[in-house]
Amino acid sequence: MLFRELNRGKCKTYIIACEKKRKAVLVDPIKEKVDRYLASLAYFGCELTSIIDTHTHADHRTASWEIHDITGAPVVMHRQAPAPHVAIHVEDGQSIAVGDVRLRVFHTPGHTPDSISIYTAGRVLTGDTLLIHGTGRCDFAGGNAGEQYDSITQKLFSLPNETLVFPAHDYRGHTHSTIGEEKQTNPRVAGRTRPAYVELMANLGLPLPQGIQESLQPNQSAIEDESIHFPTLSELNQVRQLTAQEVHTFQISAHPPLVLDVREPEEFTGELGHISGSLLIPLKELPSRSHEIDAYKTRDIVVVCRAGVRSTTAAAILTGLGFEHVSNLKGGMLDWSDQRLPVE
């Protein structure tokens, strides 16, 4: 097996390859370095079989879609990942084949709901869940400190002590650590209880990363061009969130809302289906097509997508365009389907 970190910077991108079958995957590629990744693949003589993002990144733009466009390799992310064009959704315990090499997926939520760690051959790629002598922040993008503590202490720390740890970031020049070392010395988790960890993480007082919205929303929506003027964080926070059950009750009431689905057409007709009577306008077309729903300017609209993230963006955009009663389906069609509510 061939294993390299390719960026030599604070953001880490890994190539894992089966040298026998000449197949490779890239994990967490960043937008600035696409040429380097393609050159590395050519240098090692490997065909790219998939591109994995360990989670929806908030601090840099992913290169997944661009590399997919060039190579055709499918993008792999956790089931909870909000973006369209993720061709393969994985869950805890699943494995990903790279030639003869097997990558085992651990769902390790906390930094984000869609965080995964990847184990192969005595090493684990921990994304932003477990860092070297640190942990990823969990104060934005659906983060949850308690879940993060469980992911680290119950899943990652159950790996053998000698397992090498390769995180998605390091700001202090480290390249790797081990599970045993992190268990013993990680200042955030070693000897700390779950409630103490939750309290610690709630009081870090970190500033938001620079340009978070410029990275996060394109990564969540796979919209790379200037077709969308993304809403601000406070506009997003003001969107009214309705649970799947609340939307269902609303929908069968005497005055049902317009259900506006902002996914891509292939998602609308895909495995999660869509809500009966919903109207499809993909997010990137919404600014130019909002006139189609002008009749609903003062009526109720519920916006829907896969995970409830792109639709929150869409709801904030519509509110900005003067639509007065726009709500969002929290958790999107994933929650709708988990609650076994009717779909078409």
Residues at the site binding Fe ion, with contacts judged by CB under 5 A: 57, 128
Residue 9 vs 342, nearer CB to Fe ion: 9
What is the sign, positive or negative, of the torsion defined by CA atoms of 106, 108, 109, 114? negative
Rounded to the nearest whole angstrom, what is the least distance from the CB of residue 212 to Fe ion in the complex?
A: 10
Residue 57 vs 68, nearer CB to Fe ion: 57
Residue sitting closest to Fe ion (CB): 128
Rounded to the nearest whole angstrom, what is the least distance from the CB of residue 42 to Fe ion in the complex?
A: 29
**Are the beta carbons of 149 and 140 closer than 8 angstroms?**
no
Q: Which residues are registered as beta bridge partners of 26?
A: 15, 51
Give the start-end residues of each E strand in 92-238: 95-98, 101-107, 116-120, 123-127, 130-131, 134-135, 164-167, 177-178
The radius of gyration of the chain from alpha carbons, rounded to an integer in Å, stands at: 21
Rounded to the nearest whole angstrom, what is the least distance from the CB of residue 228 to Fe ion in the complex?
A: 22
Rounded to the nearest whole angstrom, what is the least distance from the CB of residue 126 to Fe ion in the complex?
A: 11
Q: For 133-166, give the DSSP string.
A: TEE---SSTT--HHHHHHIIIIIGGGS-TT-EEE
Residue 143 vs 331, nearer CB to Fe ion: 143
Rounded to the nearest whole angstrom, what is the least distance from the CB of residue 128 to Fe ion in the complex?
A: 4
- Could you give the angle at which helices 212-221 and 310-320 cross, rounded to 10 degrees? 110
Residue 152 vs 314, nearer CB to Fe ion: 152
Residue 57 vs 78, nearer CB to Fe ion: 57
What's the CA angle centered on 190, arms 178 and 138, to 5 degrees?
90
